[in-house]
Structure 1
Amino acid sequence: MYKPIGITPLELIENYKKENNIKCKMSFAGRLDPMAHGEMILLEGEECKSQNLYCGKDKVYEFKILYGVKTDTLDILGLLEESIIPKQNNIGNFIGKFLQPYPIFSSIYVKKKPLWWWAKNGIINEIEIPKKEIEIYELEKMSETYINNLDLLNEIIGKLSLLSLDNREKFRFVEIKKEWEILLSLCENKNKIFNIETYICKVSSGTYIRSLCERMGGIAYDIKRVKIIL
């Protein structure tokens, strides 16, 4: 089933159950971030017992990287940070097996709390960020575009505004929107051109595309899961 930008997987299930008058238990296999979109597997009734089987499948993503900025979530739904990682041009360096640290805004549990809880409360330094071995089988650049600051601002606000009203406070919508507006309307950024590249990749289960974008020197501007390999 297709998950649009702006809702969580749980909201997708709630909407589906309401639209189809389903009363039995449902779950999903393979999480997608609020700003990500694409294919998800929804399980119903007894199928929920097979959740782990479906979660372990390889996946194909098409994603866009925005260079020249950095956020605490590694995508556009994050507060801006000053340190910027230089753009990495050799994509061959990102193919293979790696120990990938979980993004600090993710749902993996550490000491009975999700990682995002530690980050949101400003105490992420009190714990060790867990890592997971992942594999990037294929990574191919599809296109490259350039966009000025005002058009970029309009696109980002448009994407952020797709966030469901119920989740705006939870995901810091007001603060994040304000920071993007300030950054992209500053005098020094007027008429500034930003670089966006589009890639397609095949990866193992548990790979965070946001983290891959960070390693490549940018943030995730768009993430679309195009295929779950069953």
Structure 2
Amino acid sequence: MQQAPNNPFAEGQVLLIDKPLDWTSFDAVRKIRNMVGIKKVGHAGTLDPLATGLLIICTGKFTKRINEYMAREKEYTGTITIGAVTPTFDLESEPVNSMDYSGIDKAILEAATQQFTGTILQVPPIHSAIKINGKRVYELARKGQDVQLEPRQVTISTFELTDISLPVVSFRVVCSTGTYIRSLANDFGAALGCGGYLSSLRRTRIGEFLVSDALTIEKAEKMIGDTRKQYQNG
């Protein structure tokens, strides 16, 4: 990839991207890297392939700010399906262990959310990108190895239910960096006694950055192309 001198994206920009469903965060970075014509491109916080929403992508000199952006508070919306669990805590694996949820009502659901509000200890999912001795734990889990992860302290300032259409419960969560919404869904299901898994997820905010201000990949491609043309034409 040839890098033009004084490329405006090399000087540094923050791009807000609305990550499509089924894309990895790296898929989005790779696409943007090809568009902007420089190698120095990175994202500020992974979204799983089955999640959509706000992905902050930094280019050039602004990649130095990635850790700063990653540390900011996050907001998510999504759905939890109760009455079963999955090994990955989401729909990357098939639901198993179907359980009766007929006794669950709104009061029980809302009471369960209170257990996960505030500063709590959370065990990350074993199907995650955390490394143990240099190996991604999801790689170890897929090989059938026993993986033990230590609980981590996270802060969930808001966990509210926005719709209840059992077995699907819609939610909004505001949380600290390092919070796994998949683990929250699994733990929420365990607290209910009938299991639960994350069935959809959308990141709507990182700090002051909003998904409503983010560009689709197609709009980003046009914006970047126009910017580069303006630069080249002086």
Which amino acid in the other structure matches residue 48 of structure 2? D
Counterparts of 2:100 and 2:74, CA distance in 1:
26
Deviation at 1:131? 2.7
Equivalenced residues, count: 179
Deviation at 1:212? 0.6
Which of 3, 11, 16 is equivalent to 2:27? Answer: 11
Deviation at 1:24? 3.1
The answer to whether residue 53 in structure 2 is matched with residue 34 in structure 1 is no
Counterparts of 1:65 and 1:77, CA distance in 2:
14
Partner residue in 1 for 2:153: 133
Does the 8 Å contact 1:28/1:40 carry over to 2? yes
Q: Give the structure, 1 or 2, with the largest relative contact order (CA under 8 Å, sep 6 or more).
A: 1
Identity fraction in percent: 27
Which of 111, 120, 125 is equivalent to 1:103? Answer: 125
Does the 8 Å contact 2:77/2:173 carry over to 1? yes
Counterparts of 2:67 and 2:100, CA distance in 1:
35
Give the TM-score normalised by structure 2. 0.72
Q: Secondary structure at the match of 2:115?
A: helix
Counterparts of 1:85 and 1:43, CA distance in 2:
46
Counterparts of 1:145 and 1:80, CA distance in 2:
18
Does the 8 Å contact 2:90/2:197 carry over to 1? yes
Q: Secondary structure at the match of 1:141?
A: strand
Note closer, same or farther for the CA distance 1:17–1:139 as it changes in structure 2 (3 Å cut): same
Alignment RMSD (CA, Å): 1.8
After the TM superposition, which residues 114-193 of structure 1 pair with which residues of structure 2 at under 5 Å, given as runs? 114-123=136-145, 125=146, 127-146=147-166
Q: Secondary structure at the match of 1:5?
A: coil
Unmatched 5+ residue regions in structure 1?
Answer: 147-194
Deviation at 1:85? 9.7
The structure whose Rg is larger is 2
Unmatched 5+ residue regions in structure 2?
Answer: 1-16, 190-195, 209-234
Does the 8 Å contact 2:69/2:207 carry over to 1? no
Superposed structure 1 runs of 4+ greater than 3 Å apart: 83-88
Does the 8 Å contact 2:33/2:40 carry over to 1? no
Counterparts of 1:224 and 1:136, CA distance in 2:
16
